[in-house]
Structure 1
Amino acid sequence: MRQPSERAAGLGTLTALYVTQYLGIGFITVGLAAILRDGGTSLQTLGLLQAIGLVWPLKFLWAPLLDRYGSRRLGHYRSWLLVLQSGLVLALLALAPFDSPVDRLGPVVAICAGYVVLSATQDVAADAVAVRVLSARTRGTGNGIQVAASYLGNLLGGGACVVVYDRFGWVPAILLLAALTAVGLVVVWRFREAPRADRVVATGEAYRALLTVLRQPGCRLWTFGVVPLVYVGAGAAYALVTPALVDAGWSLERVGTVTGVVISVPAILAGLLSGLGIGRFGRRTVLVGGGVALVVSTVLLLPLMDGDAPLVATVAALAGFLSAYTVLNVVVYTVNMDYSRPDTGGTDFTVLSSFGLVCSFLAASAGLVAAARTGYPAVAAGAAVLVGLGVVVGVVHQRRFGDRVRPDGRVGDVPPVVVASDPDRVAAH
């Protein structure tokens, strides 16, 4: 059994990795976009910059390579993390010479694209480490940290670094970003990955895992039933928020402050608390709680969707919505990790989470198109219905396949497909 100190070290490593991973992402998608727009860059060009993010749903294409190859001396996934985390720092430092990014947009976008590829790959390795070091009872906590870390990273990268840029200039902002990211490199260097007790799969088998992960009991119902309903509903509603606020007369500064900073704080807390709640009350209970909260908060957004957006009530509704969305994200990630097998953890978790990302991207686009035809309130109401259906299907899934932790440390009532050699590891349902 793992000792508490080992688990704490694993959680600390994952926290540092996830936070530093999102620092640059937050800067590119929020901070750099604001800097470029302030310099006169067109919205069309900014749209192309945001399209770099589409690399993330495609990371499943090379995830099997990380499960197949790795150094036994340095640690299978640690060897990847050392290279990738170093690459993230160097990519950020490469931005430093371009103190006028508007005038050198081509090289800046190219470096940003390279950073996104590195961060997506680093995420595969970090998730694989999480699959291996988190037990059934700590998976919720680990995934709560992951989701909360994404908000914190975006908050620092998209907010704090922009403030530094505004006061001190481009180079200090980039150096701060690189220094914060380097903290993750120090943590990885000190991390000691346990030798792989499970076998290292062949390349062909690693790629076959992209499909075999879905053959596990209940995995298809979860992946193609629960995940699309929840993510399409929540994603469509969330896509309406910013344009609805603008249409209601909010200034861009207020929109950015509220959506990027104010409501992120309760979302970070919701991510951490929901992770602890999963460990204490189970996946199904937190799924229902988060789902009900998201449906209610979406209904509370209907006045905004109809053009009525008083500050206090709107901020409260948005904070409730994002917090509930965060709770459901943590549950989805946790069950995805339940289905991730130790010897192909990077591939399994990546392919399952990538499907959710695709659903979110498509939902955002479809929600805006539908709103142009039917109006914001109709789309928001439909989104609430989809989330509710997703929760119902999720409860059916969990009742059938179970989320109770058995005395042997495994999750569920059906025999796992793959059993790890470590008795504290939890195999997939």
Structure 2
Amino acid sequence: MEHVRDRSASGRLGTLTALYVTQYLGIGFITVGLTAILRDGGTSLETLALLNIVGLIWPIKFLWAPILDRYGSRHRGHYRSWLLVLQLGLVLALLALLPFSRPAEQLGPVVAIAALYVLLSATQDVAADAVAVRLLAERARGTGNGIQVAASYLGNLLGGGACVVVYDRFGWVPAILLLAALTAVGLVVVWRFREPPRVDRVARTSEAYRALLSAFGQPGCRWWTFVVVPLVYVGAGAAYALVTPALVDAGWTLERIGVVTGVVISVPAILAGLLAGTGIGRFGRSGVLVAGGVALAVATVAMLPLLNGHAPLGGTVAVLGCFMAAYTVLNVVLYTVNMDYSRPGSGGTDFTVLSSFGLVCSFVAASIGLAAAAQVGYPAVAVASVVLVAGGVVAGLRHQRRYGGRIRPDDVPAPTVPERGTVVA
């Protein structure tokens, strides 16, 4: 029986891994690979900056997350019915790029398809998160979220790195076909996935949207979301925002910066995500939170030579790898507690709205860090970042001591009414 449970748990984690990796493949290609290809084709930096605006679709996905919690197929699986459509949509959106072998000269339709892909990917993430909330027991949430964070880096590494190498050697069509084929693996996984039937009642649409706010009514959720999360994300994000301009100031070429920040340091981040997920199951959320905070503080201090203009290749890569690994560890803890607060009946909505606030904080952090650096310099911002992260860790420890054992999403359901038949997405 124990062996059967282990195989079942492994299968669930394998399904989630495939979903998370494949949804980030195209994102990595759009944000890293396509940007490089367009720049190589002569696209201006101003135009490339506009391309990045499509990424803003991701943080606002909470606006339609309740629709996924409300509607779904009883026979095909509530969230599986969404995943089948969305995963197929991701593949078709990528294939739609095939005719545009000179993307810099056909920017309009390329950007439109990219925006469609980001919309589908963000929606697929809502459904995948909802499945994770339903499938993962409390002891497995750390591992599940470690996989999710690591998968985002792996997807970016493949989509933004490997596919660009294929493009450089073989051209546009082979690169897009590889991207679509890798994404189609997720479609096969979803087709074979059998989602457990929903036993909770389904809310009306208006009540499903109330879950956007009712999630914060759980014990300690406001403290976690509006104190711990901003301190950690703003502190870490502000420090990381200094890296690229500091490397430019130190004389690094744009090509070297792209390879190191987009590819090389993704490897320790992937490993850190997986180790952090396992560590949460063994040492608890508080233990891994402290480890990540201490590691990030040490790595940020170690970045001071870079921030003062001294950036030898080997040492800088090592320091940035350690920083990204520590940042990833903290990210896994934050995601895990967000999942603790996600209720099975509104898992897509709860996890999405809690995580989206963190994304907003990350966007704000970059602006704060760079604006502050212009006034007081890189090192002062780095020190302030350490202080903010330390404050977030202390606040997080306080939260876990007081509320860690009281987070029971099953006891605080989203407003519901009896299910009335089957509604197919």
Instruction: Identify the TM-score tier after normalising by the shorter chain.
Output: over 0.9
Shift, 1:378, TM fit: 1.1
Moved more, 194-203 or 333-342: 194-203
Paired AA for residue 389 in structure 1: G
- Taking only the aligned residue pairs, the percentage that are identical comes to 78
Q: CA deviation at 1:418?
A: 2.5
Match of 1:399 in 2: 401
Cα displacement (A) at 1:343: 0.2
Q: Residues 230 and 391 of structure 1 are in contact (CA less than 8 Å); yes or no, is this contact kept in structure 2?
A: yes
Establish whether residue 147 from structure 1 lines up as the match of residue 149 from structure 2: yes
* Cα displacement string for residues 117-161 of structure 1 (whole angstroms, at most 9, x for unaligned residues): 000000000000000000011000000000000000000000000
Q: Which residue of 2 aligns with 1:370?
A: 372
Q: Distance in 1 between matches of 2:406 and 2:220?
A: 12
Q: 1:117 aligns with which of 116, 119, 124?
A: 119
CA drift of 1:258 comes to: 1.2
Shift of 1:263: 1.1
Query: RMSD in angstroms over aligned alpha carbons?
Result: 1.2
> Any conservation in 2 of the 1:216–1:417 contact (CA below 8 Å)?
no
Shift of 1:279: 0.6
Q: Which whole-Å deviations, capped at 9, do the CAs of 1:75-109 have from their partners, x for residues lacking one?
A: 00000000000000000000000000011000000
1:352 equivalent in alignment to 2:354:
yes
Instruction: Determine if the alignment matches structure 1 residue 266 to structure 2 residue 268.
Output: yes
Q: In structure 1, which of residues 302, 308, 311 is the aligned counterpart of residue 310 of structure 2?
A: 308
**How far apart are the structure 1 equivalents of 2:207 and 2:14?**
31
Structure 1 portions without partners, runs of 5+: 403-411, 421-429
1:338 corresponds in structure 2 to 340
| Aligned 8 A contact 1:26 1:155 in 2 | yes
**Structure 1 match to 2:84:** 82
SS in 2 for 1:195: coil
Question: Which residue matches 1:426?
Answer: none
Equivalent residue, structure 1, for 2:416: none
Please, which runs of 5 or more residues in structure 2 have no aligned partner?
414-425
Matched ranges for 1:36-185 at <5 A: 36-185=38-187
8 Å Cα contact 2:289-2:330 kept in structure 1: yes
Indicate if the aligned counterparts of 1:233 and 1:384 stay in contact, CA closer than 8 A. Answer: yes
Aligned equivalents of 1:342, 1:174: Cα separation in 2: 37
Tell me which residue corresponds to 2:202. 200
1:418 aligns with 2:420: no
| Matched letter for residue 411 of structure 2 | V
Partners of 2:411 and 2:82 lie apart in 1 by 24
| Number of residues of Structure 1 aligned to a counterpart in Structure 2 | 411
The answer for the alignment partner of 1:379 in structure 2 is: 381
Q: Give the match for residue 248 of structure 1.
A: 250
Deviation at 1:341, TM superposition (A): 0.2
Query: 2:9 matched to which residue of 1?
Result: 7
Structure 1 match to 2:230: 228
Q: Secondary structure at the match of 1:377?
A: helix
Counterpart secondary structure, 2:11: helix
Amino acid at match of 1:418: D
Change (3 A) 1:295 1:6: same
Partner Cα distance (1:247, 1:415) in 2: 49
Question: Is the contact made by 1:82 and 1:185 (CA closer than 8 Å) also made in structure 2?
Answer: yes
Q: Could you list the per-position Cα deviations for residues 289-343 of structure 1 after superposition, in whole angstroms to 9, with x for gaps in the alignment?
A: 0011011111111111111111121111101100000000000000000000000
In structure 2, relative to structure 1, the CA distance for the partners of 1:417 and 1:342 (3 Å cut) is closer
Corresponding residue of 2:36: 34
CA contact (8 A) 2:340 2:409 kept: no
2:268 and 2:217 mapped to 1: Cα distance?
Answer: 37
1:201 Cα shift?
1.6
**C-alpha distance in 2 between matches for 1:369 and 1:32:** 28
Letter in 2 for 1:296: V
